[in-house]
Chains A and B, each alone.
Chain A
Amino acid sequence: MNLIDFLREHEAAIVQRWCDLIFGTYAPETVQFLKKVKNRFDNPVAYQTNEGVKGLYKALIYDMETEQLSNYLDEVIRIRAIQDFSPAQAVAFIFLIKNVVREQLREHFKGEVRIDQFSQELFDFDCRIDGLALLGFNVYMNRREKLHKIRLEEVKNKVSGLLRRTGMSIDYH
């Protein structure tokens, strides 16, 4: 068995574990909530994180465009970029998949097969994750820049009616 087959076969378990680790970056009381409440509207952080991670993982194990990868990253990072995380904490979750995969391999083969049998493939996989993290950095910055643009727009909009009254042009739409 090669690594990619393993990753495809164990998709559900790996995604679940990756998500659980991401939830683990919140306070303990919050972790309980994130894991327990399944309704997507009552628990949007868990839902959107889960959807993003599911998509990301699919993108990793099947061929997908970079843009799609960025969109899935954005699902998760859009939330973390405005929560109480430092920039590094907001994107660090991407790297966690490296350990998740190793964990799953160890658990599955239980010593029958040495992990280093996959060493070249794991190295390649890790490189892709490093690339993903760089994309994640782009996504994070886009989100922060978006926030600042919105802040500027908001300041303008607060007086937009008055500006319109004075005949100053505004681009409302």
Chain B
Amino acid sequence: MAKIPTPEELSNISFQPPAKGWMDTKPEFKEGCYCNAASPKWLEWLDYPYPRNWSVRDEDWKLPANWKEILLEGFDERLGRFRTLKLFMDICVRCGACADKCQFFIGSGDPKNMPVLRAELMRSIYRRYFTTAGKVLGKLAGARPLTEDVIKEWYYYLYQCSECRRCSVFCPYGIDMADLTILGRELLSSIGLNIEWTMASVGSCYETVGHIGATPQAYKDMIDFFAEENERVTGVYTNVTYNRKGAEILFIVPSGDYFADPGTFNYMGYLLLFEYLGLDYTISTYAAEGGNFGYFMSHEMGKRLNAKFYEEAKRLGVKWILGGECGHMWRVCNQYMSTWNGPADFLEEPVSPITGTKFENAKNHKMVHISEFTADLIKHGKLKLDPSRNAHIKLTYHDSCNPSRAMGLFEEPRYIIRNVVPEGNFIEMPSNTIREKTFCCGSGSGFNGDEYLEMRFRGGFPRANAVRYVRDKYGVNHLACICAIDRAVFPPLLDYWVPGMDVIGVSEMVGNALVFPNEIERTTDLRDRPLVGCEEAEEEEGGEIE
């Protein structure tokens, strides 16, 4: 008789305690669970090392002949340059506080996604080549030799860390896995191992307007379209100027807000707010990408792309920079920009021209977050808002990892939300899933490639689970956020885990609620959805998008 596995055998085939230890267990690259290799074209554009055609599924990754030497020299050099790296390699006491805090571990059940073990992938190499105990005792001291399999393992797991920093909140020593991931990815990049999604975006941003490779003309065309759309919905045409020298403020957004829904509606919200205020601002077609995917592959590339901000601010002669709703852009701006490309002594300390508020927190890097700017306007009573226009939106708020954990932006978005939706329409998710403990969307740091869908859905499960709770218990129908990656990846993620949820930016709701003196009667929101009480009128007119 043919041998047929029993359900018990089937269930446990790959999942019994492995006969081999973690060091000897190789990752298996399955469809949907790895990021594609970067095409050589992008590396050539960027003058990055070892461009070549290779595939993750191939046995031979075509590493340069002296790859080991390059990598170890790079490791050594970074140990000297980054005190964090040296500390994080040495001080972990394996207390396990971080172990179950990573959403990729929680969602995938793969123990190598426990931050402590993910870091161990690098530590084992550090011990072997840079500590006496490791050199002498080898495996006994937790050391192992650097092999191609180790490199593949790094590639697999360092691209399962979304650099969200949730684990660092729980680590008693403050070990930041994101820092290790960034440096590990740099080392991989030094031997020509990069991912397509990131490299394509970086290459495009380096050569053109932003990540999607739009031309300045196409970018302008999109923004002009938003101005027309605003006029159609509200009766107010939102004037925009481009590359205007002498403007007071330079406004920079992530590209997700101008080419993909629902970010586009957020952009309409920004424009409405600025028109309402009569703000003296301009948009650049050069510094037109707030997002910085360079930061996902190396500090050097992050710095290179970020340089556009100050260069353009200087060229245009603006006083300060206002930034849109973006995630990691704000980690870059708050924690790196001043040292990478500063000092920005040609800019002034940001002051709101409407309220006179000095944004002292931005004294150094001269960049203000749109949520800080808007919350300040509301606090000073400068905006006439009609929350009933958002009555169809019952929402919860997702703290995007970087604005929350990298800049402590917790209150401002909530304050805005409370002022633009009717009382009782804003419901918080449970406390262990928000603010500094927020769960990642599962797609930060370059994971939104469609080839990576399944892994993303594992990482995003804890967040979706909390969203589901407020949907089921309170009838929440929208998830609000202040990050373009969130706006791009939550719709598919929630469609799988929590169907029936819409995703919305905070500025879009501001745009809905703003009352202009010269507006037409508003019957829809910015997405052409009927406002509460206007459903019938919409039906009579057919409610179609023209």
Interface string of A122-155 (1 = CB under 8 A from B): 0000000000000000000000001100110111
Partner pick for B261 among A28, A29, A157, CB 8 A cutoff? A157
On whether the beta carbons of A27 and B110 are closer than 8 Å, the reply is: yes
CB < 8 Å neighbour of A26 from B15, B263, B461: B15
State whether A28 and B17 are in contact (beta carbons under 8 Å apart), knowing that A84-B30, A89-B11, A157-B261 are contacts in the complex. Answer: yes
- In the assembly, what is the distance between CA of A44 and CA of B107, in Å? 8
B7, A92: Cβ atoms under 8 Å? yes
Interface segment, one of A2-10, A52-60, A164-172: A164-172
A21 in complex: contacting residue of B5, B11, B262, B495, CB < 8 Å: B11
For chain B, the bracket of interface size reads 35 or more
Q: Take A24-B12, A92-B11, A161-B222 as given contacts and tell me if A83 and B488 are in contact as well, using a CB distance cutoff of 8 Å.
A: no
If A41-B430, A82-B458, A96-B8 touch, whether A30 touches B261 (CB-CB below 8 Å) is no
Q: Is A1 on the interface with B (CB-CB < 8 A)?
A: no
What residues of chain B lie closer than 8 Å to A48, measured between beta carbons?
465
**What chain A residues lie within 8 Å of B263 (beta carbons)?**
161
Task: Name the residue of chain A whose CB is nearest to the CB of B267.
Answer: A161
A residues in contact with B12, CB < 8 Å: 24-25
User: Any chain B CB within 8 A of the CB of A160?
Assistant: yes
Q: Is the interface of B mostly helix, strand, loop or mixed?
A: helix
Contact of A161 with B260 at beta-carbon distance under 8 Å, contacts A27-B111, A42-B100, A84-B33 already known? yes
B106 part of interface (Cβ distance < 8 Å) = yes
Flag if A29 contacts B453 (CB, 8 Å): no
**Complex: chain A residue closest to B12, CB-CB:** A25
State whether A27 touches B465 (Cβ < 8 A): no
Contact between chains at B109 and A42 (CB < 8 Å): no
Residues in A with CB closer than 8 Å to B259 are: 158-159, 161-162
- Min distance, Cβ A93 to any Cβ of chain B, angstroms: 6
Check if B14 is an interface residue, CB within 8 A of chain A. yes
Which of A30, A146, A172 contacts B110, CB < 8 Å?
A: A30
Decide if A95 touches B108 in the complex (CB within 8 Å).
Answer: no
Residues in B whose Cβ lies below 8 Å from that of A44: 106-107, 461-462, 465
Given contacts A41-B432, A157-B491, contact A164 B261 (CB under 8 A): yes
Interface of A is mostly: helix
Are A29 and B264 in contact, with the CB atoms below 8 A?
Answer: no
Question: Which B residues touch A43, using CB under 8 A?
Answer: 100, 106
- Chain B residues with CB under 8 Å of A41's CB are 430, 432-433, 462, 465-466, 469
Q: A41-B430, A44-B461 are in contact. Are A96 and B495 (CB under 8 A)?
A: no
Q: Which residues of A contact B15 (CB under 8 A)?
A: 24-27, 89
Q: For residue A114, give the distance in angstroms from its CB to the closest CB of chain B.
A: 23
Within the complex, the shortest CB–CB distance from B152 to chain A, in Å, comes to 16
Q: Is B536 an interface residue (CB 8 A)?
A: no
In the complex the two chains form, what is the Cα distance from A44 to B12 in whole Å? Answer: 21
CA distance in complex: A161, B488 (Å): 12
Given contacts A25-B12, A27-B109, A33-B100, contact A147 B466 (CB under 8 A): no
Considering only residues 7-62 of chain A, those with a C-beta below 8 Å from chain B are: 21-22, 24-30, 33-34, 37, 39-45, 47-48
A139 → chain B, closest Cβ, in Å?
14
Which single member of B111, B453, B527 contacts A150 (CB below 8 Å)?
A: B453
Specify the chain A residue showing the minimal Cβ separation from B99. A33
The reply on B497 being an interface residue by CB < 8 A is yes
Q: Mark B252-279, 1 if CB is under 8 A from A, else 0.
A: 0000001111111000000000000000
Contact with A along B459-488 (1 / 0, CB 8 A): 001100110010000000000000000001
A14 to B497, CA, bound (A): 27
With the chains together, A129 CA to B259 CA distance in Å? 49
Q: Which B residues are CB-close (under 8 A) to A157?
A: 260-261, 488, 491-492
Contact for A147 among B11, B33, B454, B488, CB less than 8 A: B454
Interface set, chain A 83-122, CB cutoff 8 A to B: 83-84, 88-89, 92-96, 99
Would you call A84 and B106 a contact (CB within 8 A)? no
For window 418-476 of B, CB contacts with A under 8 Å fall at 430, 432-433, 450, 453-454, 457-458, 461-462, 465-466, 469
Determine the distance from Cα of A157 to Cα of B430 in the docked complex, in whole angstroms: 30
Whether the pair B10, A92 counts as a contact (CB closer than 8 A) is yes
Q: Are B453 and A154 in contact (CB-based, < 8 A)?
A: yes
Rounded to whole angstroms, the CA-CA distance of A96 and B9 in the bound complex is: 10
Which chain B residues (1-45) contact chain A, with CB distance < 8 Å?
5, 7-8, 10-15, 17-18, 30, 33
Contacts of B545 in A (CB 8 A): 164, 169
Contacts of B491 in A (CB 8 A): 153-154, 157
Whether the pair A89, B10 counts as a contact (CB closer than 8 A) is yes
* Bound: A159/B255 CA distance, A: 12
Q: How far is the CB of B225 from chain A (nearest CB, A)?
A: 5
CB proximity of A89 to chain B, nearest CB, Å: 6
Contacts of B450 in A (CB 8 A): 151, 154-155
- CB contacts (< 8 Å) of B466 on chain A: these are 41
Q: Which of A47, A95, A155, A162 has the most CB of B within 10 A?
A: A162
Confirm or deny: B529 has a beta carbon within 8 angstroms of a beta carbon on chain A: yes
Q: Which chain A residues lie closer than 8 Å to B432 at the CB level? A: 39, 41-42
**Which of B14, B225, B260, B495 is the one whose CB lies under 8 Å from A158?**
B260
Chain A residues in 8 Å Cβ range of B457 = 82, 147
Taking a contact as CB atoms under 8 Å apart, the answer to whether A45 and B454 are in contact is no
State whether B453 touches A147 (Cβ < 8 A).
yes
Contact mask for chain B residues 94-115; partner A; CB cutoff 8 A; 1 contact, 0 none: 0000011000011111110010
B148 within 8 A of A: no
Residues of A within 8 A of B454 (CB): 82, 147
Residue of B nearest to A96 (CB): B7
- The complex places the Cα of A30 from the Cα of B114 at a distance, in Å, of 10
Sample 19 A-B pairs with CB under 8 A, ordered by A number: A24-B12, A25-B12, A26-B109, A27-B17, A27-B18, A27-B109, A30-B105, A40-B465, A41-B433, A41-B466, A41-B469, A45-B106, A82-B458, A84-B14, A89-B11, A89-B14, A151-B450, A153-B495, A161-B258
Supply 19 further A-B pairs (C-beta < 8 A) apart from A44-B461, A169-B545: A24-B11, A25-B11, A26-B109, A34-B109, A37-B100, A42-B432, A43-B106, A44-B107, A82-B457, A147-B453, A147-B454, A150-B453, A150-B496, A158-B260, A158-B488, A159-B259, A161-B258, A161-B264, A164-B261
The 9 closest A-B pairs by CB, nearest first: A95-B7, A44-B465, A29-B111, A161-B264, A92-B10, A30-B109, A92-B7, A26-B109, A160-B261
